[in-house]
Structure 1
């Protein structure tokens, strides 16, 4: 079942990202602790009041990412909000802007060591 933000919370990339974000939050010392905490609050508030979600989203945007994990979190939120993962999968006319954004997300996940860096085959 897809969320209203573009892809299923069970998606493998998202699940992997969340696993690392939770571990980083648990350490309490991650460089992007504030950003990861905002993401956690935003994720928890997805089905709640729109005003709270907008405030959390503004805070998430204005909090600078200092690590590849922080960049991956911001890219993931953008992908969820605008449905870029679905758009990249369904682009029958060839590569589009959504492919570049998804590629950047995969690159940042790989740099954060959440995915293997030696990916082969075409990116989608």
Structure 2
């Protein structure tokens, strides 16, 4: 799988997660409302002041996830910060730790009903 193909797939997954986060926030009643709001603010501040981003990231980490969507949000931030999505797709020597993290993210997305539950595709 080429980098450009993997990148576009990663962006599509993340866009789907963001869309679900926005929908859940709009309801105002989601169990992970605070966590999802922190994630939204963190995304908005990504190119902003480092101090604010650090505070938002610490708040996001210390806020417990109560739903698969909340878990997926936390895992997606970790995957983006650590470059795990690209690393898992391009590991020529076989599975590494990033594969487990990406697998957990995909499981969380499936449980949050953002992805189909069929995991037979070996490219994940």
Match of 2:71 in 1: 71
SS of residue in 2 equivalent to 1:22: helix
Instruction: Mark the runs of 5 or more structure 1 residues left unpaired by the alignment.
Output: 1-6
Normalising by structure 2, what TM-score?
A: 0.91
Deviations 1:2-35 (A, max 9, x none): xxxxx67x71110110110000000000000000
Q: Which has the higher helix share?
A: 2
Q: Please say if residues 89 and 123 of structure 2, whose CA atoms lie closer than 8 Å, have aligned partners that are also in contact.
A: no
Deviations 1:39-65 (A, max 9, x none): 000000000010000000000000000
Q: Distance in 1 between matches of 2:118 and 2:89?
A: 21
Deviations 1:80-117 (A, max 9, x none): 10000010111000000000000000000000000001
Q: Distance in 1 between matches of 2:121 and 2:75?
A: 22
Q: Distance in 1 between matches of 2:28 and 2:61?
A: 21
Match of 1:89 in 2: 89
Summarize the alignment of residues 16-95 of structure 1 with structure 2, pairs less than 5 Å apart. 16-95=16-95
Instruction: Mark the runs of 5 or more structure 2 residues left unpaired by the alignment.
Output: 1-6
Q: Please say if residues 103 and 123 of structure 1, whose CA atoms lie closer than 8 Å, have aligned partners that are also in contact.
A: no
Match of 2:119 in 1: 119
The number of residues matched between the two structures is 118
SS of residue in 1 equivalent to 2:118: coil
SS of residue in 2 equivalent to 1:30: coil
